[in-house]
Chain A
């Protein structure tokens, strides 16, 4: 249906063919964006792909940024019904909007969150273990919830990474690159980029704003040793990706 338009992004990630196993299984995908160019559309797209009717995938969504209703409306326009997925135990939504770590220690809060994720996965039928996607929106807010203790957040991510080897799940995270690029030692960002098997960067065009092109995506796929770069335009029900200079891919 809408396979054609998002082909460049799906191609870069190996999602354009319907194959088993799920190409992102056991991989860590890090999405980076900036104030000028939001990368949340990539997150929505990957969530939709992970819940596609052909697969038996399960998605665990850890939301620090927006409430359920926001994602529900967006994914509905993309052709995915989160409410029914939730009812069928294919979609688990952890609302972390109000998680406040000053009340409990930052470490305690994150340990509890990890425990919850582990428990949720373990409770699934074993056949689903290999098809779980853990999606985090977004990491900079997790740091705020941890009151600035980035080390604990990194530990948490390392623990989640063990899940990718223990259960073969995929970990998809969103973070804001321009927060860290201004620091003297952008440790957190570098650590995350090191952890990631696939790095997707959403950036504005060098020439600035435009109506037809919202920005550019650079996908670095370490597993395939491949880097792809293309332009994108975000619409209500699809993301159009195309090579620079062409209007449709």
Chain B
């Protein structure tokens, strides 16, 4: 027990500039950014903490495989489990149906024996090449507080009903939107709940837009309208405490517009399927049989900084 020290100087620490405490699922990062988890702890590590609030994440889909859905599921489930709000939009007629496929957090490791049986691997893990360059302690750090920020998810178990039926979720079907202004307005209303100011953040929001591409009724200036929508979404997200993720099929865009979309993203990811029975890959990669696809990180958000 330290004895109380009498002050010997007139300088005292300005406690009001200490980092404000934030709501659940949020973590302070460098340069005044606050992160929320992608729902995949390995991906959070690769990205340097998670997705920064105010950023736009874009995911380039693989036309031959639905792996982007895995990213979305984990992203959405993570938000719901931690009490964050969610706006989900998809081309399906009834987007709510997708919520039934969200995974539940995996059982805590304390409940089972310490021995992890590799055959029981049920969550989405990311095996990345440079993992071996990190010290063991860095990888396994902070297990105690982890569940307040991110969870491992069990893709075989559906998320409990009460998470999905809560008031914190809103769904929009693109089919119901005659043009993008409806979707833009829904996003604006949603984001108005989390205005950004200097202070502690009580609640954060997540927007997930799946397979954003030209709706059935395409018209001549459509490509520019979609770009305009993304730009306005990005600027709305920038001034709020939320993260938006948009997945899109690059094959449906002209190469020039595809590049424009890529430049719009703060964080740019792409997913690619791995062929079964590829002998060359099997020799190159350990654990090839367990792998379902490649995740490429093309760009990492640089908010308030010019370095990664």
Does the CB pair A67–B238 fall under 8 Å?
A: yes
Smallest beta-carbon distance A240→chain B, Å: 12
The residues of B that contact A40 with a CB separation of less than 8 Å are 306
Determine, out of A17-25, A127-135, A141-149, the stretch whose residues face the partner at the interface.
A141-149
Does the CB pair B256–A179 fall under 8 Å?
A: yes
A38 to B299, CA, bound (A): 10
Does the CB pair B263–A100 fall under 8 Å?
A: no
A residues sitting closer than 8 Å to B (CB atoms) are 35-36, 38, 40-41, 44, 66-67, 69-70, 73-74, 77, 97-98, 100, 102, 140-141, 144-145, 147-148, 176, 178-180, 182-183, 234-236
State the main secondary structure of chain B at its contact with A: helix
One of B238, B254, B303, B307 near A235 (C-beta < 8 A)? B307
Interface positions, chain B 97-140, Cβ under 8 Å from A, are none
Among the interface residues B224, B225, B239, which one has the most CB atoms of the partner chain A within 10 A? Answer: B224
In the assembled complex, B14 has its CB within 8 A of some CB on chain A = no
Does the CB pair B263–A179 fall under 8 Å?
A: yes
With A35-B259, A35-B263 already in contact, the answer to whether A144 and B228 are too (CB < 8 A) is: yes
Does the CB pair A234–B307 fall under 8 Å?
A: yes
A69 to B260, CA, bound (A): 24
Does the CB pair A147–B228 fall under 8 Å?
A: yes
In the assembled complex, B235 has its CB within 8 A of some CB on chain A = yes
The residues of A that contact B238 with a CB separation of less than 8 Å are 66-67, 97
Does the CB pair B224–A97 fall under 8 Å?
A: no
In the assembled complex, B283 has its CB within 8 A of some CB on chain A = no
Smallest beta-carbon distance A189→chain B, Å: 11
The number of chain B residues touching the other chain, given as a range, is 20 to 34
The residues of A that contact B48 with a CB separation of less than 8 Å are none
A73 to B268, CA, bound (A): 23
Does the CB pair B303–A70 fall under 8 Å?
A: yes
Supplied contacts A98-B235, A144-B260, 11 more A-B pairs, CB within 8 Å: A36-B298, A66-B238, A67-B238, A70-B303, A73-B31, A74-B305, A100-B228, A145-B228, A147-B221, A179-B259, A179-B263
The residues of A that contact B215 with a CB separation of less than 8 Å are none
Smallest beta-carbon distance A95→chain B, Å: 10
A141 to B230, CA, bound (A): 11
A-B residue pairs, 5 tightest by C-beta: A148-B224, A182-B255, A73-B304, A97-B235, A179-B259
Does the CB pair B224–A234 fall under 8 Å?
A: no
* Closest A residue, CB atoms, query B258: A182
In the assembled complex, B231 has its CB within 8 A of some CB on chain A = yes
Does the CB pair B231–A70 fall under 8 Å?
A: no
A67 to B32, CA, bound (A): 14
Q: What are 18 A-B interface contacts by the 8 Å CB criterion?
A: A36-B298, A38-B302, A66-B303, A73-B31, A73-B305, A77-B305, A97-B235, A100-B232, A141-B231, A145-B228, A147-B221, A147-B225, A176-B260, A176-B263, A179-B256, A180-B256, A234-B307, A236-B305
The residues of B that contact A176 with a CB separation of less than 8 Å are 259-260, 263
Does the CB pair B235–A44 fall under 8 Å?
A: no
The residues of A that contact B227 with a CB separation of less than 8 Å are 144
Does the CB pair A98–B232 fall under 8 Å?
A: yes
The residues of B that contact A236 with a CB separation of less than 8 Å are 305-307
Smallest beta-carbon distance A74→chain B, Å: 5
The residues of A that contact B260 with a CB separation of less than 8 Å are 140, 144, 176, 179
